[in-house]
């Protein structure tokens, strides 16, 4: 068994999602972003994941920098990977393959989330969504990492998209 943890920053809000075996759950969702790097470092010490995936640009750039200063090895999530992850979460949920615990934050985010077309694909749009969606993005990326991690690792994902 492994554990994926995703911290996502968007619209001055951040959320953390552990994911294992096709099931994710929001364990933290707070306003602000200054708390996220220290909390992820603490979770890494407790859960000992092997990989951290993060968008090194945009809203998560400050967390990327803070984690780098803490000596965390980082894997930058690509835009192509994010665009594959968004529909995969929805397809997996519809087929009953991916589940996440009921929590008001991702439920509200999912209700107000707007997909943004990009070529033949789509991704979650922070700008067009009716409210903050970090928890939904965290679930999306944690599910993607759970399915795409190398067999010998337990990924920790930090992304800001």
pLDDT at position 1: 33
Distance, CA of 69 to CA of 74 (rounded, Å) = 11
Per residue in 119-134, pLDDT (tens digit) is 899 998 888 988 888 8
Angle at the Cα of 40 (from 34 to 44), degrees rounded to 5? 160
User: Of 46-50, 82-86, 91-95, which one has max mean pLDDT?
Assistant: 82-86
Lowest mean pLDDT among 55-64, 79-88, 152-161: 152-161
pLDDT at position 148: 76
Is pLDDT at 79 greater than 80 in this prediction? yes
User: For 38-154, where are the E strands, in sequence order?
Assistant: 51-54, 74-76, 99-100, 114-118, 121-125
Is pLDDT at 117 greater than 90 in this prediction? yes
- Provide CB contacts within 8 A for 35, sequence distance 6+: 14
* pLDDT bucket at 55, cuts 50 / 70 / 90: low
* pLDDT bucket at 8, cuts 50 / 70 / 90: low
């Amino acid at each position: 068994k492994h554990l994926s943890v995703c911290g996502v920053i968007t619209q001055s809000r951040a959320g953390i999602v552990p994911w294992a075996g096709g099931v994710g759950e929001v364990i933290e969702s707070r306003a602000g972003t200054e708390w996220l790097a220290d909390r992820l470092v603490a979770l890494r010490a407790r859960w000992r994941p092997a990989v951290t995936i993060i968008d090194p640009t945009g809203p998560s750039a400050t967390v990327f920098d803070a984690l780098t200063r803490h000596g965390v090895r980082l894997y930058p999530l690509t835009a192509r990977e994010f665009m594959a992850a968004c529909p995969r979460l929805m397809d997996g949920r519809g087929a009953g393959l991916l589940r996440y615990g009921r929590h008001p934050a991702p439920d509200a985010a999912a209700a107000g989330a707007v997909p943004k077309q990009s070529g033949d694909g789509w991704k979650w749009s922070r700008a067009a969504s009716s409210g903050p969606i970090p928890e939904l993005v965290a679930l999306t990326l944690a599910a993607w990492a759970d399915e795409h991690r190398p067999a010998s690792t337990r990924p920790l994902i930090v992304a800001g998209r």
